Structure 1
Amino acid sequence: MLNRIRQSIVYRIGILMLLTVLVALSSMVASYVISDAAENDAAAVNLAGSLRAMSYRLSATAPSGDIAATRALENEVTERLQRVLSISDFSASDNLRAAHNYRKVMDSWEEEIRPLLESITSGRSSMDSLQLATRLEPFIYDVDTLVFDYQTIAEEKISLLRLVQLGSLFAIVVLVYLSLYILHRSVEQPLKQLTNRSLSIAQGNFKQNRLEIDSDDELGVLARTINYMSDEIHATHRDLAHRVELKTAQLQKSHKALDFQYRLARRISEGPLTGAELGQWLGEFANVADISNLDLCLMTPEGELPYEHLVQGLGNALCHSSECRTCVSTCGPSDEEQQRVYRFPLEVDKRNYGVLTCTLPRGESLNDEQQQRLATFADSVTAAIAINEREAQERRVALLDERAIIARELHDSLAQSLSYLKIQVTRLNRTNRSEQVDKTKVKEIITELKEGLDSSYRQLRELLTTFRLQIGPGGLRNILEQSILAYREQHPQITILLDYQLDEVPLSPHEEIHLLQLVREASQNAVYHSQGDMVQIGMTQTDNHSVSVHIRDNGIGISSSPEKRNHFGMSIMQERASNLNGKLHICRREEGGTEVQFSFVPQYARERELVWRDAV
């Protein structure tokens, strides 16, 4: 019961309300009982008081000799005495003072007063009114005493009723005060603290203003729960804030690392890295990755010793005593004497270009993120070296291709002309060694020699012009227009027209070079050998994305059996057409002249067609 009261505000307030109701009900019941008991007290007082008046009337009636009136008064007194007993809340045999005085009055009446009155009325005794009144004085005194007793009883009941009501009022006031006190202390103050604490929590304050409610009731349990919840949330927020700080720091480091990798990748794409630049990048990487004691050894794939050894920090103290090939071939962490060494070989396509080494004291190690950053930096350096080597190889290949082109051009032009001149010189020698020199034949040979020399010189100038050509920002169209402008200046009698419709076609540099050389070769043949006055050059793209090129002239037309020097350079153009995987067709025009037709599919169209096929 006590535990229940201590642990529950509702039960506690309910008990107080029940006690208040019980006190009020008890007061009402007691008041009802007391008022019910005092209902006949006034009648008893009146009846007892009327006995005195009747006693005085008897003292006047009995001596007069009026027997009927006297007997009527006697019966009335007897009846009233009995009625007094009937309305009293005690019996005649009780030990109460009022019951004793009633018996005394009743005995005095039955044993003394009534027999005396009967004796007087019957004439046996003679007594006047004064004497009878004197004789009735004790009886009247006893009646007064009885009246006083009834009055006292009534007053006692009223006092008791007043006391009950005052006690009930006091008890109710006390219970109401206790209820208000308990509500104030156990409900109002805790609720106020809970409300203020809830507002603080709503504002994000989970640590300050802890609830100091030390009770076992519902509000105490709620306060402890809120305190525990606030502590947990505060701890969670603190942990989350710490995690956010750590994650922010990690993100900042990652951002710096990504920015470093981006700048390094952009620098690698711009051109080859020198040793001094690699040293600067190595130092910046050490700061970004928070790693010291780095060694970057660069080697040729065929070499045994590094041609470049870059050190950041103290480096590897045992580097001088280790074999470079062993260091390069070792990957991952290893313990060597009093230090721990991490090695990341610079290797791509089974070609090794060196090693990146990180040295730590014995017992320390790199975390996964640092190892990943070291591996990424090593890959970037490897990519830079590989790109440099690939570009150098491409330059070598391009140089060899260019030399092969020059050799082919020289062979197809100057070499053939020189061979022709050599034949003419041989003819001239034979003619001179004969006994009879044919001056006409010698003159003819000299003329052919002069023409051959002029043709060779012209071809040499054209070759020099061709070798000096560069496709600038204007692309293929610009260089074609420049070439046509040069032809017009050299041969103003020939009209050269260009219809270029490939502005929307993304040609590769390889395709532009071969297409330019093919158009120039066909145009030269038309200008120098067609004997016409108009050359039309057209370049368009067909519906199947292939590029179509035609060079037309209005000259004498191609011969069915080309001459020995191959003026139209058919073999050269055929070779260029095969380099572009295209089809070349040279024919005589019905309206006169020659037409060179060439068509091929550009690389971008072939790649898109492959993508579409894979998708299907």
Structure 2
Amino acid sequence: MDDRKSSVSTKIAHYLLLIIIFAAIISVLSLGIMLSNKSDAKLINVSGSLRMQTYRLLYEIEHEPQKVELNLRQYRLSLHSAALTEINHQFFVPEEVKQAYQNLIKRWETMESYARGKNYEAYRAEVENYVDQVDRFVNTLQYFAERKLYITVFSILGAFLFIIGTVSYVIWFSKKQVVNPLEKLALASTQVQIGQFNHIPLDTQKNNEIGRLSAVFTQMASELQKLYAQLEEKVNEKTQKLSQANRSLTMLYHCSQLVTTNAITPDILQQVLKHIMFNEHLHYIELAVHGAEHWHICFGEKDARRHCQQTELSVEGDKLGVLYWQAGLPCPDLRSMQNVAQMLSRSLYFHQAQRQQQQLLLMEERSIIARELHDSLAQVLSYLQIQLTLLKHNLHKNDDKATEKSLAIIQDFEQALNDGYVQLRELLATFRLTIQEANLQLALEQVIDSLRNQTEMQMTVNCALPSQALNAQQLVHALQIVREATLNAIKHSQGSRIEISAQTDEDGEYELVVRDNGVGIPSLDEPVGHYGLNIMHERSAQLNAKLTIRNLPSGGTEVKITLPNTR
């Protein structure tokens, strides 16, 4: 109930309702006065006709007495007409008008008695006074009609002024209670919109809609300010965390670059630890590597009163070392230190794996060298040992046949030594390429360059295979097959050009091809005392490759090795 009384809209509605009611009352009053004025003309006419009938009765009394009774009845009808008798029943008709009408009726009763008695002299003596009384009654009616008109005019004018005043008050009240507070609310909302939560003060004490709206808006702005402050605090906190994460990622990136682009050495590890200590604000950091005590690295001053945090460096259960540190302010993120430990663990693990791989490669190279020496020089030396035994046996004989046989053995011995020397040079050249060069194109070119002084044939090399297409063992066998095929072409083809190519076929397999433009190979059967083709087949078998030897339709021989692409 109190809220309805203090409501601005209710007050404005009451004011407007008051204006409507007042206007309705004035309208009804004016309409009633206008309707009463409509009968005033009839009253004046009827009252005015009484004067004429009074003088006509005076004439008839003197000249036409037989008509006096008829005119008296007409006069009585006029005097008591509905228009005149209603004066007594209208509450807004003044008493003086009613009294004048009653006096006129009483005075006519006297005049009517003179007329019935045909007393002309008495009637004539009173007629002027009676007519004067009728005139006064008419004037009273006219004055009453004019007064009603004035009342109507003044009522309408007063009502108009009242309505204007009331409307002005309503406009002033609306501007004060509605428009001005709403403008302040709009300005305050604009300030809140641009982030000024301490907006202009609003009137929150009024117990109406605007006051409650202002109170709610002020409370909302206060809550928004608190929420905005909390959001700013969270944004600043997130920004700091993101900055720290960015620094940690940058630190991890630089450390990763150091350990991945360089061989792991104590100097590299020192640079990494310095970088970690600087970016993570550490007071002390220490790295202990298992099995490499000379790599024990530490920076900063260790506080014996404080506990050192530590993370074990391990990969797949293999313990590689321990990372110790003492944090400063701000404290580093534990996840960053765990990532650092994981990076160092993998770096040390890859370093150890790389060293093991190098040892395995070295052992593999040694095994290849031992096998090649066994398959070439060892056989030659064994043959020379047999020939030397035969030579010693023949030297104890003095006949010519023994001497001739000894010379043949010496010739074979000399040939075997030359062959062994040639094989030794080929092996040295091949192993030097295998160990020193990983580029297949360069290895093939150097193999062919070593043979150019043995022929005038034009030799070209075209390699389209990747550098790491073959491992060390495959490279030794492949180069030996290429060398043997090239030597056969130099010795037996009688051609002018040799082409060596390495490429990938349509099935994705690796191909090594030696092609010449000579007379072609007469037969694929190995001649007696020659082992080159057999050795090429044996090496192809060890490579798990396919060796194809054929004559070309255009002339010449093609030797092709096809290796499966296992990468």
Specify the alignment match of 2:294 in structure 1. Answer: 307
Q: 2:166 pairs with 147, 170, 175, which one?
A: 175
How far residue 275 of structure 1 moved from its aligned partner, in angstroms, is: 1.8
Q: Is the 8 A contact 1:194 1:211 kept in 2?
A: no
Gaps of 5+ in 2: none
Specify the alignment match of 2:27 in structure 1. Answer: 28
Specify the alignment match of 2:202 in structure 1. Answer: 212
How far residue 43 of structure 1 moved from its aligned partner, in angstroms, is: 4.5
How far residue 379 of structure 1 moved from its aligned partner, in angstroms, is: 1.4
Gaps of 5+ in 1: 318-337, 605-616
TM-score of the two chains, using structure 2 as the length reference: 0.78
Show the 5 A alignment for 1:130-149: 133=125, 139=130, 142-143=133-134, 146-147=137-138, 149=140
How far residue 45 of structure 1 moved from its aligned partner, in angstroms, is: 4.7
Show the 5 A alignment for 1:575-586: 576-577=539-540, 579-583=542-546
- Over residues 109-160 of structure 1, what are the superposed CA-to-partner deviations in whole Å (9 max), with x where a residue is unaligned? 434x4545666738xxx77x9xx64x66765665565445434543443343
Taking only the aligned residue pairs, the percentage that are identical comes to 23
Specify the alignment match of 1:285 in structure 2. Answer: 276
Show the 5 A alignment for 1:244-393: 244-300=235-291, 306-315=293-302, 317=304, 339-359=306-326, 370-393=333-356
Specify the alignment match of 1:612 in structure 2. Answer: none
How far residue 29 of structure 1 moved from its aligned partner, in angstroms, is: 1.3
Q: Is the 8 A contact 2:283 2:325 kept in 1?
A: yes
CA distance in 1, matches of 2:458, 2:250: 55
Specify the alignment match of 1:4 in structure 2. Answer: 4
CA distance in 1, matches of 2:267, 2:434: 34
Q: Is the 8 A contact 1:484 1:496 kept in 2?
A: no
CA distance in 2, matches of 1:434, 1:588: 51
How far residue 376 of structure 1 moved from its aligned partner, in angstroms, is: 1.3
CA distance in 2, matches of 1:210, 1:579: 94
Distance 1:84 1:154, change over 3 A: farther
Specify the alignment match of 1:480 in structure 2. Answer: 444
CA distance in 2, matches of 1:82, 1:179: 53
CA distance in 2, matches of 1:140, 1:257: 126
CA distance in 1, matches of 2:102, 2:238: 108
Specify the alignment match of 1:330 in structure 2. Answer: none
Counting matched residue pairs gives: 558
Distance 1:547 1:82, change over 3 A: closer
1:207 corresponds to which letter in structure 2?
A: F
Q: Is the 8 A contact 2:547 2:562 kept in 1?
A: yes
CA distance in 2, matches of 1:505, 1:285: 38
Specify the alignment match of 1:507 in structure 2. Answer: 469
Distance 1:66 1:532, change over 3 A: closer
1:18 corresponds to which letter in structure 2?
A: L
Distance 1:533 1:265, change over 3 A: farther
Q: Is the 8 A contact 1:549 1:599 kept in 2?
A: yes
Q: Is the 8 A contact 1:108 1:139 kept in 2?
A: yes
Q: Is the 8 A contact 2:314 2:320 kept in 1?
A: yes
TM-score of the two chains, using structure 1 as the length reference: 0.72
Q: Is the 8 A contact 1:197 1:209 kept in 2?
A: yes
- Over residues 370-423 of structure 1, what are the superposed CA-to-partner deviations in whole Å (9 max), with x where a residue is unaligned? 222112111111122122222222222222222233333333333333444444
- Over residues 552-580 of structure 1, what are the superposed CA-to-partner deviations in whole Å (9 max), with x where a residue is unaligned? 895787876875xx853956x56754553
Q: Is the 8 A contact 1:558 1:594 kept in 2?
A: no
- RMSD over aligned Cα, in angstroms? 4.8
Distance 1:266 1:42, change over 3 A: same
Distance 1:455 1:110, change over 3 A: closer
Moved more, 535-544 or 389-398: 535-544
Specify the alignment match of 1:602 in structure 2. Answer: 565
1:397 corresponds to which letter in structure 2?
A: L
CA distance in 1, matches of 2:524, 2:50: 178
CA distance in 2, matches of 1:76, 1:176: 56
CA distance in 2, matches of 1:258, 1:392: 29
1:407 corresponds to which letter in structure 2?
A: A
How far residue 348 of structure 1 moved from its aligned partner, in angstroms, is: 2.0
Specify the alignment match of 1:89 in structure 2. Answer: 87
Distance 1:263 1:576, change over 3 A: farther
1:468 paired with 2:400, answer no
Q: Is the 8 A contact 1:557 1:588 kept in 2?
A: no
Specify the alignment match of 1:333 in structure 2. Answer: none
Q: Is the 8 A contact 1:470 1:479 kept in 2?
A: yes
1:283 corresponds to which letter in structure 2?
A: K
SS in 2 for 1:468: helix
How far residue 449 of structure 1 moved from its aligned partner, in angstroms, is: 4.1
How far residue 513 of structure 1 moved from its aligned partner, in angstroms, is: 1.8
1:522 corresponds to which letter in structure 2?
A: E
CA distance in 2, matches of 1:378, 1:297: 12
Distance 1:344 1:578, change over 3 A: farther
Q: Is the 8 A contact 2:434 2:475 kept in 1?
A: no
Q: Is the 8 A contact 2:526 2:533 kept in 1?
A: no
- Over residues 467-499 of structure 1, what are the superposed CA-to-partner deviations in whole Å (9 max), with x where a residue is unaligned? 32258899423432332232121x126x47567
Q: Is the 8 A contact 2:288 2:296 kept in 1?
A: yes
Q: Is the 8 A contact 1:105 1:143 kept in 2?
A: yes
1:110 paired with 2:109, answer yes
2:452 corresponds to which letter in structure 1?
A: R
Q: Is the 8 A contact 1:85 1:91 kept in 2?
A: no
CA distance in 1, matches of 2:57, 2:216: 91
Distance 1:520 1:153, change over 3 A: closer
CA distance in 2, matches of 1:550, 1:155: 140
Q: Is the 8 A contact 1:206 1:230 kept in 2?
A: no
CA distance in 1, matches of 2:423, 2:377: 7
Distance 1:580 1:185, change over 3 A: farther
SS in 1 for 2:279: helix
Distance 1:353 1:579, change over 3 A: farther
Show the 5 A alignment for 1:489-528: 489=453, 491-492=454-455, 495=457, 502-503=464-465, 507-510=469-472, 513-520=475-482, 522-523=484-485, 526=488
SS in 2 for 1:296: strand
SS in 2 for 1:469: helix
